[in-house]
């Protein structure tokens, strides 16, 4: 039990389980799944579907944070990707054809990659601190997205494009499948090759890893490009789900949610060791929180307060200093877990 609790994934998983349990108590059919018209329905599916963009962005963010960086520009990239693809579809002669949809996706992904190269260039070649380097794009990016849409909300009607965010494949929402694919890709690429270790090496000590003969510049470049790529895909999902591009509100504050997901999942903002699974759990916690608010009948106005309190609780539970304090208060960590669960119910 003790060794299990020491695992870095333990606390996020306990928090998620507690939240799900809370929902199950208040709504007995919460965990139930049912088939309808060949599609799988249920609250769990909803959580995954609504959380898909956050999970995607958080995956990219995990690698950036592991390399001792941070990417604040993802929300702006979401807006630009959505704006670019919807503007293309709206302006094309055949707005409903699959070719147009494919081109739109290509444009969004290319735009994402380009912006990732830009961030990577500022951080690795120029040597600007990540938080400011990406702040540039965070500020300017939304302006660029508004420039593309001319300040309007561009609506499109293309069924193929709509499928990305709202379609179903093999009984599951397409967005979940895309997210799962990116997760698998990231896991295989970083854990089945040396890439993951190299990223951690750069994050733990950039100078030492450079002296050890590691091309840390390229590693930094790769993580920012991957992060922007994930953000572009998330931008496609968000805009396709509502079949419109809203340069002002698409992906607003999603960078904050993504960073929170990473931190709640157990990856330190100081860089170094990371866990992609933890990040996914963290993103689920954030999305489940939103659902919990509705299940418990808490007025939506209180959502943010509730979120802030839970985020603080989870962060405090993970902080080594807070854990030591709990341990010295009560000898074993087991009562501490109970206490935490109680605290959540009290909230």
Partner 1 sequence: MSPLSTLTPLAVKEKSPVRNRIRGGARYAPTLATLGLFIAMFAVGAGMYPSFLSGQVFLNLFIDNTFLIVLAVGMTFVILTGGIDLSVGAVVALSMMVSATLLQQGWNPAAVVFLVLLIGGGLGLLMGLIIQYFDIQPFIVTLAGMFLARGLCYVISLDSIPVTEGFFTAMAQAQIPLPGDLFVSPGVLLALGIVAAAFYILHHTRFGRTVYAIGGNEHSAMLMGLPVTKTKVLVYALSGFCSAIAGILFSFYSLSGYSLAAQGMELDAIAAVVIGGTLLTGGTGYVLGSVVGVLVLGIVQTFIAYDGTLSSWWTKIVIGALLLVFILLQRLFARKTA
- Residues near partner 1 (CB under 8 A) are 70, 122, 126-129, 131-133, 135-144, 146-147, 151, 247, 256, 259-260, 263, 269-270, 301-309, 311-312, 315-316, 319-322
Q: What distances in angstroms separate CA 50 from CA 95, 123, 174, 181, 287, one per listed residue?
A: 26, 32, 12, 17, 7
Please state, in angstroms and rounded to a whole number, the distance separating the CA atoms of residues 128 and 124. 8
Smallest distance from the beta carbon of 261 to partner 1, in angstroms?
Answer: 12
Q: How many CB atoms lie within 10 A of CB 321?
A: 8
Smallest distance from the beta carbon of 264 to partner 1, in angstroms?
Answer: 9
Please state, in angstroms and rounded to a whole number, the distance separating the CA atoms of residues 114 and 243. 24
In the bound state with partner 1, the residue whose beta carbon lies nearer, of 196 and 271, is 271
Burial of 42 (0-12, 13-18, 19+ CB in 10 A): middle
Q: What is the largest CA-CA distance in the chain?
A: 71
Smallest distance from the beta carbon of 199 to partner 1, in angstroms?
Answer: 19
In the bound state with partner 1, the residue whose beta carbon lies nearer, of 43 and 227, is 227
Query: How far is CA 147 from its chain centroid?
Result: 26
In the bound state with partner 1, the residue whose beta carbon lies nearer, of 10 and 326, is 326
In the bound state with partner 1, the residue whose beta carbon lies nearer, of 101 and 285, is 285
Smallest distance from the beta carbon of 42 to partner 1, in angstroms?
Answer: 28
- Residues 6+ away with beta carbon under 8 Å from 182: 56, 59, 230, 233
Element (DSSP H or E) covering residue 208? helix 206-211
Smallest distance from the beta carbon of 268 to partner 1, in angstroms?
Answer: 9
Smallest distance from the beta carbon of 74 to partner 1, in angstroms?
Answer: 15
Please state, in angstroms and rounded to a whole number, the distance separating the CA atoms of residues 238 and 246. 10
> HSE-up of 190 (CA within 13 Å, CB side)?
28
In the bound state with partner 1, the residue whose beta carbon lies nearer, of 21 and 204, is 204
Please state, in angstroms and rounded to a whole number, the distance separating the CA atoms of residues 257 and 72. 11
Q: How many CB atoms lie within 10 A of CB 34?
A: 10
In the bound state with partner 1, the residue whose beta carbon lies nearer, of 80 and 105, is 80
Smallest distance from the beta carbon of 54 to partner 1, in angstroms?
Answer: 15
Smallest distance from the beta carbon of 4 to partner 1, in angstroms?
Answer: 24
In the bound state with partner 1, the residue whose beta carbon lies nearer, of 59 and 260, is 260
In the bound state with partner 1, the residue whose beta carbon lies nearer, of 30 and 221, is 221
Burial of 135 (0-12, 13-18, 19+ CB in 10 A): middle
- Residues 6+ away with beta carbon under 8 Å from 222: 120, 195
């Amino acid at each position: 039990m003790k060794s299990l609790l020491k695992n870095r994934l333990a606390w996020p998983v306990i928090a998620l389980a507690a939240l799900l349990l809370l929902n199950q108590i208040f709504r007995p059919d919460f965990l139930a799944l049912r088939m309808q018209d060949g599609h799988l329905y249920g609250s769990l599916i909803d959580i995954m579907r609504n959380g898909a963009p956050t999970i995607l962005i958080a995956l990219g963010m995990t690698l950036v944070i592991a390399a001792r960086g941070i990417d604040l520009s993802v929300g702006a990239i979401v807006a630009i990707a959505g704006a670019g693809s919807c503007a293309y579809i709206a302006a094309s002669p055949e707005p409903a054809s699959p070719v147009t949809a494919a081109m739109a996706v290509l444009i969004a992904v290319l735009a994402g990659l380009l912006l990732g190269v830009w961030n990577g260039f500022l951080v690795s070649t120029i040597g600007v601190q990540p938080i400011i380097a990406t702040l540039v794009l965070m500020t300017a990016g939304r302006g660029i997205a508004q420039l593309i849409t001319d300040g309007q909300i561009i609506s499109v009607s293309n069924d193929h494009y709509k499928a990305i965010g709202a379609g179903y494949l093999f009984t599951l929402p397409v967005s979940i499948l895309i997210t799962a694919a990116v997760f698998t890709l990231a896991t295989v690429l970083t854990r089945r090759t040396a890439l993951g270790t190299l990223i951690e090496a750069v994050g733990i000590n950039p100078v030492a890893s450079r002296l050890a003969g590691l091309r840390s510049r390229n590693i930094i470049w790769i993580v920012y490009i991957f992060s922007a790529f994930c953000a572009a895909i998330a931008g496609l999902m968000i805009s396709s789900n509502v079949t419109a591009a809203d340069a002002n509100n698409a992906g607003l504050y999603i960078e904050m949610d993504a960073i929170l997901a990473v931190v709640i999942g157990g990856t330190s903002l100081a860089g170094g060791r990371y866990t992609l699974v933890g990040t996914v759990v963290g993103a689920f916690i954030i999305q489940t929180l939103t659902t919990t608010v509705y299940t418990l009948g808490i007025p939506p106005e209180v959502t943010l307060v509730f979120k802030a309190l839970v985020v603080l609780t989870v962060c405090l539970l993970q902080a080594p200093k807070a854990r030591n304090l709990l341990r010295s208060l009560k000898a074993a960590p087991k009562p501490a877990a109970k206490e935490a669960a109680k605290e959540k119910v009290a909230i």
